[in-house]
Amino acid sequence: MKINTLMSTLFLISAATAIAQPEVDCSVYSSQEHSRYVLPYKQGSEHEVVVSTGHYRESNQGVGLYALDFIMPIGTPIVAARTGHVVALREQFYDGNGKDLHENFVFIQHDDGSIARYIHLTHDGVLVEIGEHVNAGQLIAKSGDTGQTGGHHLHFDVQQCGPNLPPQYNQLPCGQTVPITFSNTQPHQCGLEEGKSYRAL
């Protein structure tokens, strides 16, 4: 069994045991043509989405509804999905630690106050500094397998509420994710779909 197929199976089993997912209203997604986001990995590369709406939990008011998980090998280059500035980072944890909230990350705040989160990065895998301005498509980190994961992947989401920063970065009322489309890949009028791979064009 190929590693991506195995990873997909593990993630989908996990998602299947979660609370039933709500129907997604496709009208909440902006048009790709006007999207300010690019996929969070290098042009020409392709990665499978293993979780799209599967982070939804009624118990936490569905804050993770629009978060995405992309399968990728440890050390895969991660780029900024949108222009902004770095507001938080962490890189001291080691891959495979399996501990909840012990993951490495980069948070980038955009000009509308929203914050993109790039989570489960590898040890010493952050390539930017706090306060640094970054452009969409700029290399910012390397993917990993830190924290509580079903396998090596990048967790990406955008939160509408700031400044939801460490140490309270996973607590309500902040943390509500927003629906995202990406301008540099194939059509996805209702967001990226689980089980499909998307190439950064």
Q: What is the pLDDT of residue 146?
A: 97
Q: What is the pLDDT of residue 176?
A: 80
Q: What is the pLDDT of residue 77?
A: 98
Q: Look at residues 27, 24, 79, 72 and name the one whose alpha carbon lies nearest to residue 52.
A: 24
Q: Which domains does the chain have, with CATH numbers?
A: 3-199 (2.70.70.10)
Q: What is the pLDDT of residue 83?
A: 98
Cβ neighbours of residue 115 closer than 8 Å, sequence gap 6 or more: 87, 107, 108, 109, 158, 159, 162, 163, 164, 165
Burial 79-96 (b: 16+ CB within 10 A, else e): bbbbbbebbbbbbebebe
In angstroms, the Cα distances linking 110 to 12, 37, 201 are 31, 11, 22
pLDDT along the chain (201 residues), means of 10: 52 47 80 96 97 65 82 98 95 95 94 93 98 98 95 92 63 75 95 95 97
Q: What is the pLDDT of residue 117?
A: 94
Classify strands 68-71 and 77-79 as parallel, antiparallel or unpaired.
unpaired
pTM: 0.87
